[in-house]
């Protein structure tokens, strides 16, 4: 296994105390709002700036891994398998770049669903998460073929078609909604320029459904969506922007719903998500603090009692770029 010494950034850290009191100050890093205007919720896509502390807690990534896997759209796998089966040089194995890999949950979900030898290149800023992802990566594909990994710390703002030379596939999870339009264009240009498909999962769709409902649901959701769109980030608009960008460059694009469906068995994740969701809404609209405190207390109590169900809507995107001479594995 080899590493490169570039820089990348990953995740959220909790907001300062005054912004998180509504969330009981118990938000696991990764579940809560960003602390400063312009702070990046996932990957650092700019090459300047100081080395920052890690922002995703493994505990948050572990909580969401099961629901993430259950939510991802299996309907996109057959067209992806067909494309991968027809790649030139497939006999040498697939090369898969996982951007913002965290603890490697995307690889653990996808590698056992694809046939053939695979070499995963895991990108993240946090060396601890990279180590965890490498150690916990799957070792066998669906047909028993070998899966190998390498880790890289890198800035995907500088991702180019040359950087993806030899790539069979680019993957990412919960990434698009924390990018700007320019950053999505950079990512799309790299993928389409290299002629490799992209499977980009779990982009927030901006819709949440609660059972039972509460009159404040919609107002909190609107404030959260506005928080997602701060400082030119696209939030729930990202999936549309990415589809348009891929289509403009000749890629065939498919989108499929991938909602979290959280019930009593997911109460730990639901509680953390609620604290972060409400905390971000209050950070965006401080005048909501008083009603939001009541709202959060009641929602957390219902969650603990097993009486709350939540559907958090996401979308998965598969973009099949036109093959190029460089799109070999």
Virtual torsion, Cα 38, 39, 44, 45, nearest 10 deg? -10
Per-residue confidence (pLDDT) for residue 60, from 0 to 100: 79
Report the pLDDT value the prediction gives residue 282, as an integer from 0 to 100: 94
* Token pair in block for residue 275: 């604290």
What pLDDT was estimated at residue 163?
Answer: 81
Q: HSE (CB half, 13 Å, CA atoms) of 109?
A: 23
Q: pLDDT tens-digit profile of 93-150? A: 999 999 988 889 999 999 999 999 999 999 887 888 888 899 999 999 999 999 999 9
Q: Is 274 exposed, middle or buried (CB count within 10 Å of its CB: 0-12, 13-18, 19+)?
A: buried
- Whole-number pLDDT of residue 323: 78
Cis peptide before 212 (omega within 30 of 0): yes
Per-residue pLDDT at 325: 57
Below-70 pLDDT ranges, the chain: 1-26, 29-30, 32-56, 89-91, 154-158, 325-329
What percentage of the chain exceeds 90 in pLDDT?
61
Q: Phi and psi for 115 in degrees, rounded to 5?
A: -85, 155
Give the rounded distance of the alpha carbon of 177 from its chain centre. 8
Per DSSP, the residues of 153-204 read B--GGG--TGGGTT-SEEEEES-GGGSBHHHHHHHHHHHHHHT--EEEEEEE
Report the pLDDT value the prediction gives residue 107, as an integer from 0 to 100.
Answer: 96
Question: pTM value?
Answer: 0.83
What CA–CA distances, in Å, run from 205 to 150, 238, 268? 32, 9, 22
The contacts of residue 94 (CB under 8 Å, 6+ apart) are: 84, 87, 114, 116, 117, 118, 119, 168, 169, 329
């Amino acid at each position: 296994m080899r590493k490169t010494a570039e820089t990348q950034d990953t995740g959220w850290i909790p907001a300062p105390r005054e912004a998180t009191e509504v969330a009981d100050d118990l938000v696991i890093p990764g579940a809560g709002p960003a602390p400063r205007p312009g702070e990046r919720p996932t990957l650092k896509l700019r090459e300047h700036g100081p080395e920052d502390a890690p922002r995703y807690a493994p505990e948050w990534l572990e909580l969401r891994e099961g629901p993430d896997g259950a939510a991802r759209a299996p309907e996109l796998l057959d067209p992806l398998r067909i494309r991968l089966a027809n790649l030139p040089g497939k006999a040498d194995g697939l090369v898969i770049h996982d951007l913002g890999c965290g603890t490697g949950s995307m690889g653990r979900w996808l590698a056992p669903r694809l046939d053939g030898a695979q070499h995963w290149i895991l990108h993240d800023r946090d060396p601890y998460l990279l180590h965890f992802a490498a150690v916990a990566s799957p070792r066998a594909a669906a047909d028993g073929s070998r899966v190998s990994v390498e880790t890289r710390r890198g800035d995907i703002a500088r991702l180019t078609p040359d950087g993806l030379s030899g790539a069979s596939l680019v993957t990412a999870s919960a990434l698009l909604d924390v990018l700007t339009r320019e950053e999505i264009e950079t990512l799309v240009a790299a993928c389409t320029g290299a002629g490799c498909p992209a499977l980009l999962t779990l982009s927030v769709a901006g819709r949440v459904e609660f059972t039972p409902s509460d009159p404040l649901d919609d107002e909190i959701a609107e404030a959260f969506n506005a928080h997602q769109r701060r400082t030119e980030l696209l939030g729930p608009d990202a999936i549309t922007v990415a589809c348009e960008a891929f289509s403009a460059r000749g890629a065939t694009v498919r989108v499929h719903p991938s909602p979290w469906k959280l019930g009593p068995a997911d109460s730990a994740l639901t509680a953390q998500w609620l604290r972060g969701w409400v905390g971000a809404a209050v950070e965006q609209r401080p005048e909501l603090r008083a009603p939001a405190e009541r709202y959060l207390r009641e929602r957390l109590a219902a969650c603990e009692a097993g009486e709350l169900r939540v559907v958090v809507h996401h979308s998965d995107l598969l973009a099949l770029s036109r093959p190029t001479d460089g799109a070999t594995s």
